[in-house]
Amino acid sequence: MNRIIRAALVVGISGLASAAWAQVVSPSIVREGTGDRRKALDAMELNAWSSDALKNISDWVGGKAPTSADLSGKVVLICTYSDWYPAASRAFAMAERLANAKSGEGLVVIGVHNPKEWDKAKKNAPKDGVSLFAGHDKDGKFRDTVKSDQDPDFYLVDRAGQMRYADFATESVDAAVTQLLAETTDQAAGINAAIAAAKDKADREARKTDSIRSNVDTRNIPEQNFADPTPEAYAAAPWPNPEKATRDSSSGENQGPKSLTPPAPGTCFPKDPAVKGRAIIFYVWSPKVRSSYENLLRDMDLEQKKYGRDVAVIGAMADLRDRDSNSENQGTDPQKLIEQAQKFAKNMSIEHTITLYTANIGGRDFSGESFGSDISIPWVAVCSSDGVVRWEGPPSAPAYKAAVEGVLRADPGIKARRAAEEKYLSEKK
């Protein structure tokens, strides 16, 4: 199934409104489906979900069907699955583990088996105290009510009985469950009002920013000469320490580069990035990994527009190997790679910098990874203006935004550039 990452710009908002807005549009939750079906699924979200749909399920394991009392005030994870289909069977096994681990926190898991081969399916009775239910969608009517098209499909209902995530990716389940379990029933019930307030504040801030920019077009400020801050200034800066993304679960340590060298002049388009006195948001993507470019390139373009002259956003396209190919020489003609990257940038009207990925600018051989394997793409590094990587991990990680905002607040190079630009503008008045 195709995956759609929902992402949006979260501007200076706070409190419940900020949390609500971030949770609903957070890129950490990957939706599935496209076209009219995805539109129909979107229409289900943030609306009341009726448990009457469960009446279409029969043959509950152990003869126990969930009651209203079982669901009231709980977070409900629904998994459509087929025991005979390995991917779906694994997905339901993961849901079972979540039920075992988090029932005490208010999670209820409901497994809805495919119409086919229910008689052959494993039917594990839940342990005492575990809120786990499994039954048979004999006629497929339950699947019709939630517009399920292929097992496994996941749905998540909040404590207020609202469908919050309709058909989202297996890899997003843990994050989504954690998110909703952290809410109270009142917070869940107020989610729509909180989102509306957040959007309204974001619109007001955007109008204010547009008004300022109408008076001074900062994009046309020429590059200013200023002294680079000393190493001591960078060492003394209050850098953020957001939770690091772990690439190697066996070591439990954040792996990857400690510094980043920008791409060489003449290797970027539509133009070389201006990096002096700017933080760098460096991300790696590949045309062979749909989730790494489908919305990410546009989202990163929004990041460039949002942060303006304070950041240089650089997207590096990696040439992944084909997992099933036996050829040792799978490298593509560099010129063809350049043309491919340029085509992506042109078709998406990308304004930030696009370049080809090379290990010397990323510090890790992403191009040596295999398409279809457990790869780390998309990946992003947040660097200060001295090229030091202050955070790295998937762009969907909640800590990514915190890292960007923290670097912008602390970076002495950004402060030095801003001071030089302010002096220039004052002298132009």
User: What pLDDT does residue 314 have?
Assistant: 94
pLDDT of residue 6: 31
Residue pLDDT, tens place only, 333-361: 777 877 888 887 777 788 899 988 876 55
Of the ranges 23-37, 138-152, 250-264, 390-404, which one carries the lowest mean pLDDT score? 250-264
| Confidence class for position 89, pLDDT limits 50, 70, 90 | very high
**% pLDDT > 90, the chain:** 47
Residue 2 has pLDDT above 60, yes or no: no
Q: Is the pLDDT assigned to residue 83 strictly greater than 90?
A: yes
Predicted pLDDT of residue 303: 93
Mean pLDDT lowest for which of 191-195, 244-248, 270-274? 244-248
SS3 letters across 244-283: CCCCECCCCECCCCCECCCCCCCCEECCCCCCCCCEEEEE
pLDDT digit string (tens) for 375-414? 467 889 999 999 999 988 888 887 888 889 989 999 999 9
Q: How confident is residue 9, by pLDDT bands cut at 50, 70 and 90?
A: very low
Confidence check: pLDDT of 48 > 60:
yes
Q: What does pLDDT average to over the chain?
A: 81
pLDDT at position 136 over 90: yes
Give residue limits of the domains in the chain.
3-194, 232-428
Of residues 427 and 376, the one with the higher pLDDT is 427
Residue 242 pLDDT grade (very low, low, confident, very high; cuts 50, 70, 90): low
pLDDT digits 0-9 by tens, 286-320? 888 887 787 888 899 999 999 999 999 999 888 77
**59 pLDDT exceeds 90?**
yes
Q: What is the pLDDT of residues 210-219, one digit of tens each?
A: 554 445 556 6
Q: Tell me what pLDDT residue 221 has.
A: 85
pLDDT for 13: 30
Residue-wise pLDDT tens digits, 161-184: 999 999 998 888 998 999 999 999
Lowest pLDDT segment from 107-116, 314-323, 409-418? 314-323
Residue 325: the pLDDT is: 47
Indicate the range of 40-44, 111-115, 240-244, 404-408 predicted with least confidence: 240-244
The residue type of 349 is: S
The average pLDDT across 250-259 equals: 48
The residue type found at 271 is: K
Which amino acid is it at 72? Answer: S
* Paired tokens of 115: 């119409």
Fold classification of 232-428 is: Glutaredoxin (3.40.30)
Beta-bridge mates of residue 282:
314, 381
Whether this prediction's pTM lies above 0.75 is answered by no
CA distance 417 to 276: 8
Would you state the pLDDT for residue 28? 57
Confidence check: pLDDT of 25 > 70: no
Higher pLDDT, 208 or 228: 228
Is 3's pLDDT higher than 90? no
Between residues 231 and 219, which one has the greater pLDDT? 231
> Could you say which architecture CATH assigns to the domain 3-194?
3-Layer(aba) Sandwich (3.40)
379-383 and 389-393 as β-strands: parallel, antiparallel, unpaired? Answer: antiparallel
Does residue 11 or residue 367 have the better pLDDT? Answer: 367
In the chain, how long is the greatest CA-to-CA distance? 81
